[in-house]
């Protein structure tokens, strides 16, 4: 059997965390559609029998009817392909979900809130769908494969070996339990980084959703026979998120830093976050730097620099500057100070030092 496995498309995501520019969110949403169409075209051209979508196909809170109709129209174009969807925590099968309210094409199977089995001639496909925005336990430990002579596939959304408190509400499962079930392929979703080194596979998010998802994004293409699994990762997202670090220790002015940023070599398919490192010799205003950037592909600048002054040494001076720094250091060393408060105090130190020169 030939199949395509995708997950975490997150259609109609607002992308507000990327930039203060609404246009960028619009661009990424258009790119989502473009990439999804590539998936469908690949399936048509290669006569793929099965499409597994392991959750978070869309954002329940933001998705529009027109987007649902767009998705379903593409599903109609591959009517000979059997499509299996396991709703995730962003597109759960709740009462007002489009999975309930919309009439999907006949080749689409949406798994419910308990583990189901769909019987094919030589294949059994099992699946589970979130029926709420959280899932503490899908009951995978209690299910048993009905026929080991057939190819057995599991389509499911959740975390593997999630140890943190944050992982627990998202259908946390252990790798050992999944291995002990002896599925021939497990199509997972939820983790946005590709992991396809075994039959327990995350394809990653089909389109990169931000700077915490660097590198290539796309789909898994598989060929599965009983006892033989071949997997390939096919990149689809033409745009890539990239981080570039600049050490500003030797940079002595805002103007020089702006020139350095504008001289960066950036490809036309890259969204860039500039990370400033090192010891700063002047006050840095991120919004001002963004105002003077010449390349709109730079969508974020993050300041991770430290004050260049030796505050301990200055605080011991018997001068007005020394008294000022001593008071500021007392504030910086207060127990329970937040990062935001620390940032404000450090900016005050820079302004004060420049004024007292």
pLDDT digits (tens, 9 = 90+) for 173-188: 999 999 999 999 999 9
Kindly report, residue by residue over 237-285, the tens digit of the pLDDT: 999 999 999 999 999 999 999 999 999 999 999 999 999 999 988 888 9
164 or 145: which leads in pLDDT: 145
- Please, what is the Cα angle at 357 between 352 and 354, to 5 degrees? 35
355 or 73: which leads in pLDDT: 73
Domain boundary among 174, 202, 235: 235
Question: Looking at the structure, do residues 138 and 268 belong to the same domain, yes or no?
Answer: no
- Structure tokens that stand for 153 in this block: 């596939």
Kindly report, residue by residue over 10-67, the tens digit of the pLDDT: 999 988 777 666 688 888 999 999 999 999 999 999 999 999 999 999 999 999 999 9
- Percentage with pLDDT > 90 across the chain: 74
Which residues face 126 on adjacent strands? 117, 154
Question: Looking at the structure, do residues 19 and 58 belong to the same domain, yes or no?
Answer: yes
Question: Looking at the structure, do residues 229 and 245 belong to the same domain, yes or no?
Answer: no
321 or 196: which leads in pLDDT: 196
What is the reported pLDDT for 23?
Answer: 80
What is the reported pLDDT for 197?
Answer: 86
Q: Which of 17-21, 64-68, 137-141, 327-331 has the largest mean confidence?
A: 64-68
Question: Looking at the structure, do residues 205 and 247 belong to the same domain, yes or no?
Answer: no
Comparing 29-33, 197-201, 292-296, 346-350, the range with the smallest average pLDDT is: 346-350
Question: Looking at the structure, do residues 167 and 51 belong to the same domain, yes or no?
Answer: yes
What is the reported pLDDT for 316?
Answer: 87
Q: Please list, in sequence order, all residues whose beta carbon lies within 8 angstroms of the beta carbon of residue 184, skipping any fewer than 6 positions away.
A: 151, 152, 153, 199, 224, 226, 227, 229
Instruction: Fill in the DSSP letter of residue 141.
Output: G
What CATH number corresponds to the domain at position 203? Answer: 3.60.21.10
What is the reported pLDDT for 248?
Answer: 95
- Structure tokens that stand for 286 in this block: 């991120």
What is the reported pLDDT for 20?
Answer: 62
Give the mean pLDDT of 124-146.
95
pLDDT at 70 > cutoff 60:
yes
- Structure tokens that stand for 32 in this block: 């989502």
Compute the distance between CA of residue 184 and CA of residue 226 in angstroms, rounded to an integer: 7
What is the reported pLDDT for 114?
Answer: 94
Compute the distance between CA of residue 146 and CA of residue 58 in angstroms, rounded to an integer: 32
Core vs surface per residue 300-334: b (16+ CB within 10 A) or e: bbebebeeebebeebbeeeeebeebbeebbeeeee
* CB count in 10 Å sphere of residue 105: 15
Domain enclosing residue 221, as ranges: 2-235
Where in the chain does DSSP place strands (E)?
2-6, 50-53, 82-85, 108-110, 116-119, 123-127, 151-157, 185-189, 200-201, 218-225, 228-235, 240-247, 270-277, 279-280, 298-303, 306-307
Question: Looking at the structure, do residues 158 and 261 belong to the same domain, yes or no?
Answer: no
Compute the distance between CA of residue 283 and CA of residue 347 in angstroms, rounded to an integer: 7
Give the mean pLDDT of 194-218.
94
Q: Please list, in sequence order, all residues whose beta carbon lies within 8 angstroms of the beta carbon of residue 49, skipping any fewer than 6 positions away.
A: 1, 2, 3, 80, 81, 82
Domain boundary among 206, 235, 264: 235
pLDDT at 87 > cutoff 90:
yes
Question: Looking at the structure, do residues 262 and 207 belong to the same domain, yes or no?
Answer: no
Cα-only R_g, the chain: 26
- Structure tokens that stand for 143 in this block: 């299910």
**What rounded mean pLDDT belongs to the chain?**
92
Domain count along the chain: 2
Place of tokens 């619009």: 26
What is the reported pLDDT for 83?
Answer: 98
Domain boundary among 200, 235, 270: 235
Question: Looking at the structure, do residues 77 and 145 belong to the same domain, yes or no?
Answer: yes
Question: Looking at the structure, do residues 250 and 175 belong to the same domain, yes or no?
Answer: no
Question: Looking at the structure, do residues 231 and 255 belong to the same domain, yes or no?
Answer: no
Instruction: Report the chain's terminal Cα–Cα distance, integer Å.
Output: 75
Alpha helices in the chain (DSSP H): 22-46, 65-77, 98-101, 175-181, 254-262, 286-292, 311-315, 320-332, 339-355
Q: Please list, in sequence order, all residues whose beta carbon lies within 8 angstroms of the beta carbon of residue 207, skipping any fewer than 6 positions away.
A: 9, 10, 28, 31, 32, 35, 217, 236, 237
157 or 311: which leads in pLDDT: 157
The SS3 assignment for 345 reads helix
Question: Looking at the structure, do residues 293 and 188 belong to the same domain, yes or no?
Answer: no
Question: Looking at the structure, do residues 185 and 320 belong to the same domain, yes or no?
Answer: no
């Amino acid at each position: 059997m030939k199949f395509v496995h995708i997950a975490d498309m997150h259609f109609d995501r607002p992308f507000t965390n990327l930039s203060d520019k609404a246009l960028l969110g619009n661009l990424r949403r258009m790119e989502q559609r473009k990439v999804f169409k590539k998936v469908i075209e690949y399936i048509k051209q290669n006569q793929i029998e099965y499409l597994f979508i392991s959750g978070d196909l869309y954002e329940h809170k933001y998705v529009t009817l027109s987007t649902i109709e767009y998705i379903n129209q593409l599903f109609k174009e591959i009517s000979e392909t059997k499509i299996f969807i396991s709703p995730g925590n962003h597109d759960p099968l709740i009462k007002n979900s489009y999975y309930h309210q919309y009439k999907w094409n006949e080749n689409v199977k949406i798994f419910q809130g308990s583990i189901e089995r769909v019987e094919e001639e030589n294949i059994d496909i099992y699946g589970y769908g979130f029926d709420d925005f959280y899932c503490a336990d899908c009951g995978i430990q209690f299910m048993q494969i009905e026929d080991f002579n057939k190819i057995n596939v599991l389509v499911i959304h959740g975390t593997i070996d999630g140890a943190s408190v944050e992982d627990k509400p998202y259908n946390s499962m252990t790798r050992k339990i999944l291995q002990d079930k002896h599925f021939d392929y497990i199509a997972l979703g939820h983790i946005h980084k590709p992991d396809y080194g075994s039959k327990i596979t995350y394809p990653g998010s089909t389109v990169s959703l931000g700077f915490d998802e660097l590198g290539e994004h796309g789909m898994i293409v598989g060929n599965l026979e009983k006892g033989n699994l071949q997997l390939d990762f096919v990149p689809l997202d033409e745009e890539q998120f990239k981080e570039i670090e600049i050490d500003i220790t030797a940079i002595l002015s805002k103007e020089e830093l702006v020139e350095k940023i504008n001289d960066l070599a950036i490809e036309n398919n890259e969204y860039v976050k500039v990370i400033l490192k090192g010891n700063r010799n002047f006050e840095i205003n991120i919004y001002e730097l963004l105002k003077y950037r010449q390349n709109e592909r730079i969508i974020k600048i993050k300041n991770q620099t430290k004050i260049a002054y030796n505050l301990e040494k200055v605080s011991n001076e018997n001068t007005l500057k020394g008294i000022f720094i001593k008071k500021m250091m007392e504030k910086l060393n207060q127990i329970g100070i937040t990062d935001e408060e620390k940032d404000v105090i450090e900016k005050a130190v820079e302004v004060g030092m420049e004024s007292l020169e």
